């Protein structure tokens, strides 16, 4: 892994604020090696003409709209940024060990 990876424990963080989620996501997304795409996300990207560069922009510059617990104690975050006239939403799992897992990509209102 390149760069510093922020690690955390579910027991250490009873709640994860939107600001904390953005900080973790931006740090981890600064290296593409830290970002894993689900096949479903790739299918949605192709359907919606959203590129990996768009996803990177959302992760690095977007805002966290929702932060919830995912299965297994990881955090699920909806990151959103307006790109070429459309609000692009990236459902992202902040993995406990390290990295980010992109679940899906959508246009949000």
Counting the structural domains of the chain, the total is 1
| Residue 32 located in a structural domain | yes
The pTM of the full predicted model, rounded to 2 decimals, is 0.86
| Residue 58 located in a structural domain | yes
Nearest-angstrom CA–CA distance, 25 and 102: 11
Give the model confidence (pLDDT) of 14-37 as tens digits.
689 999 999 999 999 999 999 999
Give residue 75's domain range.
18-108
Grouping H, G, I as helix, E, B as strand and the rest as coil, residue 62 is coil
- Asked if 104 and 78 touch (Cβ cutoff 8 Å), the reply is no
Between 61 and 1, where is the model more confident? 61
Q: Which residue has the tokens 């459309």?
A: 86
**Sign of the CA dihedral with 46 first, then 50, 51, and 55 last:** negative
Exposure letters 36-50 (e unless 16+ CB within 10 A, then b): ebeeebeebbeeeeb
């Amino acid at each position: 892994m390149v760069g510093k990876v922020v690690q955390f424990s579910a027991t250490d963080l009873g709640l994860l604020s939107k600001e904390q989620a953005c900080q973790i996501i931006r740090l981890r997304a600064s290296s593409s090696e830290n970002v894993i795409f689900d096949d479903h996300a790739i299918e949605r990207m192709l359907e919606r003409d959203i590129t990996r560069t768009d996803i990177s922009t959302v992760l690095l510059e977007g805002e966290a709209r929702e932060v919830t617990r995912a299965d297994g104690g990881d955090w699920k975050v909806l990151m959103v940024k307006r790109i070429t006239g459309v609000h692009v939403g990236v459902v992202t799992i902040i993995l406990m060990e390290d990295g980010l897992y992109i679940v899906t990509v959508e246009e949000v209102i």
